[in-house]
A = this chain, B = another copy of it.
């Protein structure tokens, strides 16, 4: 119960994936086991794995699930991090500086004191309370166990019809995976175009490409339930308008912060349900409680407001920041600009910054520019199309956001805009950017430059 003994401090980590174990590892790098005891509770069976890799495991692109594990519990233990698997923290007591955990195997409950606590409980997939949502044949893809369950399900599926609910990153990646597995894929989407993290005009390009890949996309349809057969298994996805027969149903309808423990403990949550932290990733108002990863809200540096974005790259950075601070160093996570990239088959999709509706929501007036270009010099073989949309602030011309849909080389080009957003560049400044040019990699005017030039004209045309 007493955290410190003989001057040694104790760090307790809740959650053994990206944020939690990055924090633990970084703290260990800075503090020896003599100085700092580290205990990590993980309710599952794995540590430090790439949930983002699950679609590629399901597709067969990555042959084995264990390949997604960046660092196993044994590897962490070898570095004197006391990883306790299948052990779920069921209560936080910030006032008492302790957590209560339950060992899944024995059912035993234990209180463990801490000097510093890291909450890295992640996110849980949305699973709307509709009939049939928990039926056999309906799968989420959040954890490695989910991935294994889905792969097992594919082996036993009675037929080859798959319905994916949701047309965001996970939905699209799962649609590709199922296509590769030989399924006939229908994607049911509640928005008016796939990829609602893009503006609808860009989402429609994704829709068109998906149709070309042989995927059936149904927009503007809200799922009302899953119809099950006499054996209780999922048979069809039902919407207000139609019913889509399904041998397999995959849910890709987003995630929400897993913060029920934090809520019960009275820790501060934001409007998206994520923990609120300061720039050092300390939970606001709690000196020795830290949080990172999918369970926190992050500051959107362009929109000037908090958002919830579940992404391994943020989780790793935040864990690193926490570990540095717990270890006695100094680091901050200043926020995000909202960059995300994905692909479906050979179509790459990227976004950063504000969409039109985000700009309106935060009170920024804007102009837009959309251009068509290619990923290589036009004469170079396999030059493929690339569409770039840019938003710039009215009058100031400051870049507000960029969306890209196109062939190879489209996705990571968004990084140019991500850095420009971070630095607060105007689209006029962007027209002079010294970007890499060679025929295999870009037209002589990089598509980002072409878009920036058009955005400058749009800013100029809308005077006043």
Contact = CB atoms under 8 A, between A and B. Distances in A.
Nearest to A301: B434
B333 A438 contact: no
B62 A379 contact: yes
Interface size class of A (residues with CB under 8 A): 35 or more
Q: Assembly of this chain: how many copies?
A: 2
Nearest to A311: B437
A255 to B, nearest CB: 16
Nearest to A173: B438
A411 B438 contact: yes
A68 B379 contact: yes
A434 B53 contact: no
A380 B418 contact: no
A380 B432 contact: no
Contacts of A437: 52, 311-313, 339-341
Contacts of A444: 18, 50, 52, 70, 312-313, 316
B434 A67 contact: no
A189 interface: no
A419 B413 CA distance: 12
A415 B435 contact: yes
A53 B273 CA distance: 53
A343 interface: yes
Interface in A426-450: 429, 431-442, 444-446, 449
A373 B334 CA distance: 25
Contact of A439 (B50, B336, B377, B416): B50
Given A416-B419, A419-B420, A381 B436 contact: no
Interface in A46-74: 50, 52-53, 56, 61-62, 67-68, 70
A195 to B, nearest CB: 13
B68 A445 contact: no
A423 B377 CA distance: 27
A380 B60 CA distance: 11
Contacts of A415: 413, 415-416, 433, 435-436, 446
A12 B131 CA distance: 76
Contacts of A350: 436
A352 interface: yes
Given A50-B377, A50-B379, A313-B444, A436 B411 contact: yes
Contacts of A409: 412
B52 A432 contact: no
A25 to B, nearest CB: 13
A138 interface: no
B380 A53 contact: yes
A337 interface: yes
Contact of A339 (B56, B342, B413, B434): B434
A287 to B, nearest CB: 23
A457 to B, nearest CB: 11
A422 B433 contact: yes
Interface in A315-338: 316-317, 332-334, 336-338
Sorted nearest first, the 7 A-B pairs with minimum C-beta distance are A423-B423, A341-B436, A313-B437, A419-B419, A67-B379, A339-B434, A336-B434
5 contacts: A50-B439, A53-B379, A56-B380, A316-B444, A341-B436
Given A18-B444, A62-B380, A420-B423, 7 more contacts: A313-B445, A334-B432, A337-B434, A341-B441, A412-B413, A415-B436, A419-B419
